[in-house]
Amino acid sequence: MTEKGNQPAEELIEKYGLKIPKEIVTSVLIGQPKLPVLLSRASFRPDADVRTEQRTRFQRERRDLLHSMLGLAAVSITALVLLKIATLPSSQGQTPTYVSQPGTQNGRLLANAANIPLNQSLALNDPTFGPIILIHLDNGQFVAYSSICTHAGCQVQFDPASRDIACPCHGAVYDPYSNAQVVAGPAPYPLQKIPIQYDASTGNIYLSG
């Protein structure tokens, strides 16, 4: 068949956007259709292409979503770690509450240093501050804190062996050398610090506020 005879087949293919080979269309036009070949090749290729494109787009969108979620999770974990580090008490500690002003007697008398051996404590009850724990640290200084646990209100105790303040109810632990910062357990914040004043000339310890 001449090129001129093929023209109608080409026009049909172009007009209807067919995906059927040109020779199949030509065989139909000349009255000798290749039906087995026609049936095997005349598939709905446009629909298949659309499904393929949709599947590819879905996979790409899912991959992008997973990447975004992983990035957000990484940022969140990093932020939590940094926040945890920032809230940890300093390992160097802080200067304990201790004021030496010989000859002064400001405030109410709490105790005398002679009655509190080194690395021991004394439980007191003040009308203003309530239960107090007065501690003679092993560095020679004195500190005083409220003995009410900040978790559930139990009364804490000083442990000479560990040199910590511990709550017997739920296991909260405070560091008396670092302004009673929480070092373990469920307590949300440190014990209340009680201001005291030490008179080195008499050994008396007073409330200074």
Please indicate, yes or no, whether the overall pTM of this predicted structure exceeds 0.85: no
Residue 118 has pLDDT above 70, yes or no: yes
- Domain ranges across the chain: 7-43, 109-207
Q: What is the mean pLDDT of residues 59-74?
A: 76
Give the helix/strand (H/E) hosting 143: strand 142-146
- Give the CATH number of domain 109-207: 2.102.10.10
CB 97 within 8 A of CB 195: yes
Please give the single-letter amino acid code of residue 36: P
What is the tens place of the pLDDT at every residue in 83-107? 554 444 433 333 334 443 444 455 7
Query: Which class for 5: exposed (0-12), middle (13-18), buried (19 or more C-beta within 10 A)?
Result: exposed
Q: Give the lowest-confidence range in 54-58, 77-81, 148-152, 158-162.
A: 77-81
What is the C-alpha to C-alpha distance for residues 78 and 70, in angstroms, rounded to an integer?
A: 12
Give the helix/strand (H/E) hosting 197: strand 196-199
